[in-house]
Chain A
């Protein structure tokens, strides 16, 4: 499906440009994006190198295990396939915690580590049940304190920049629960189909 979306975006964009005379803009955008993506990767590299280094220390010091043990009752219910003492749980929890506080930059490295651990568990190049659940939680966003948005609101003179914290938390809770239910629905549908 991602193959189709990828091709569709590029092909429909080029065809649209052909009919609307925006090919110059498309050309420019292509080369600008090549630069941009390298810049993003480089800045992502800094974040990844730093946090994975720090997380390695946290892991060896037993902090990730501690975190995993603390929230085990909740997380094992969301991820029934992951063994109770598996390091993936620790990374998933650090990813969720970082997301909750709006530290997107710190959340990504831990999310990637979690994915690597999940891949070790599934040993296949197909997305496992736990991976899809993990992505669903991530895409529905767990933000409790949307720092970037608050900063923008301050910049444009909001009388109460943090007034959206309550609505964001409520919306996040609902969307995360919905994501989990949607994920469960698709899981049981897959199971039904594979049994037939």
Chain B
């Protein structure tokens, strides 16, 4: 698989190029790394805060209540109800979405229509809330402008695109 070669390959190219250009690679590495440590430490409050809120919402059962409330509406437009929870959770929580995808694939089989749809959805959308929290948290952006709206609408576009494309390709 290409991804097994990719990371070692990148490391190789970077280190060889640096050596050819006579750059003190190790010293530069340490210098750049320190910034990584600072970013990680400054991220904790943002990440922890967001994760606690999401955990409360999930553990209380409120998330499931929202999902069962929405099911009749999505049935109306013919959206497969088996993947609805995934579509709603995907922008909020990456780990929850991944475990839902796993559950759907386990229950319906990876090669079923539902399994293909969940797989495609998982691959073509991302955890908007996490990305916004981490990226804006790291640089101290307080006013987010339209970022959240744009991100969530982009997720919606990804979910609709997944349903249409998987329907065309697999059913």
Contact = CB atoms under 8 A, between A and B. Distances in A.
Interface residues of A, number: 103
B84 interface: no
A74 interface: no
Interface string B1-20: 11100110011011101100
Contacts, number: 345
Nearest to B158: A175
A161 interface: yes
Contact of A14 (B60, B101, B154): B60
Interface residues of B, number: 101
Contacts of B98: 148
Contact of B135 (A12, A56, A111, A190): A111
A53 B158 contact: no
A134 to B, nearest CB: 8
A44 interface: yes
A61 B150 contact: no
B134 A167 contact: no
Q: Do most interface residues of chain A lie in helix, strand or loop, or is the interface mixed? A: helix
A191 to B, nearest CB: 12
Nearest to A6: B53
A139 to B, nearest CB: 4
A7 B33 CA distance: 35
B37 to A, nearest CB: 5
B23 interface: yes
B70 interface: no
A79 interface: no
Contacts of B15: 57
A194 B157 CA distance: 27
A34 B52 contact: yes
Interface of B: 1-3, 6-7, 10-11, 13-15, 17-18, 21, 23, 25, 28-37, 39-41, 43-44, 47-62, 65, 91, 98, 101-102, 105-106, 109-111, 115-116, 119-129, 131-136, 138-155, 157-158, 161-162, 165-166, 169-170
Interface of A: 1-2, 5-7, 9-10, 12-14, 16-17, 20, 22-23, 25-26, 28-30, 32-34, 36-38, 40-42, 44-45, 48-63, 101-103, 106, 108-109, 111-112, 115-116, 118-119, 125-127, 131-132, 134-136, 138-141, 143, 145-149, 152-153, 156-161, 163-164, 166-168, 170-172, 174-176, 178-179, 182-183, 186-187, 190
